[in-house]
Amino acid sequence: MKNILTLNEIIEVRKKLKAENKKVVFTNGVFDLMHAGHVDYLTKAKLLGDVLIVAVNSDSSVRKIKGNLRPITGQDERTFVLASLKPVDYVIIFDEDTPQNVIEKLIPDVLVKGADWSKDEIVGKEIVEAAGGKVETIEFVHKQSTSNIIDTILKKFKNNG
């Protein structure tokens, strides 16, 4: 897909967007089992600017932060699904535990995380604000998570298997 890029490619895109005065919104996450909460969140994030860039934890990064049983869905499938969603303009994969390096290189105009994060805990906050950008949080409307989906599947199959 043309909108799944490497870090170097997205840096070049960012330069072009800056020259065009486009407001770039950035968010990141695992996005393991896509659900309505993810789509709602990404739709609201896109409304904060002109272009939405989503950074996705690589499989090895997910294992480091969530354990060896995750991700359920591999990075190629996760990025393909994200890149296919209407609000998402670009997707990149990052290997580190946090997107700090990506944020330092892109310096988005708006940095977004879910409201389960305190603004003070959001990685890259200082970088974005120092450049005159904003940090926003988005409330979750759909109380859904990949962990909840996994728990539901396990309970249903345990009781009916």
The residues that are catalytic are 64, 66
Please answer whether residues 124 and 99 qualify as being in contact, where contact means their C-beta atoms are separated by less than 8 angstroms. Answer: yes
Rounded CA-CA distance 10/62 in Å is 21
Torsion of CA 119, 63, 42, 139, to 10 degrees: -40
Rounded CA-CA distance 33/13 in Å is 28
Please answer whether residues 71 and 79 qualify as being in contact, where contact means their C-beta atoms are separated by less than 8 angstroms. Answer: no
Amino acid at 34: M
Rounded CA-CA distance 88/42 in Å is 7
